[in-house]
Structure 1
Amino acid sequence: MRLYIAIPFVLVASLYAAAGVAAVTRGWVPSWNRRRVRRVRLHGWGQLVVAFGVCWQVVFGLVISGPGIREWGPSPAACFS
Structure 2
Amino acid sequence: MGAAAYGSRLSQDDVHVRYSFGVDPGVPEGVLVIPLDDPGAVYAEDRDRLPMDAERVFWKALRMHRQTGTWPEHVAFQS
TM-score (norm 1): 0.32
Higher relative contact order (CA 8 A, sep 6+): 1
TM-score, normalised on structure 2?
A: 0.32
Tell me which protein shows more helix as a share of its residues: 1
Higher-strand-fraction structure:
2
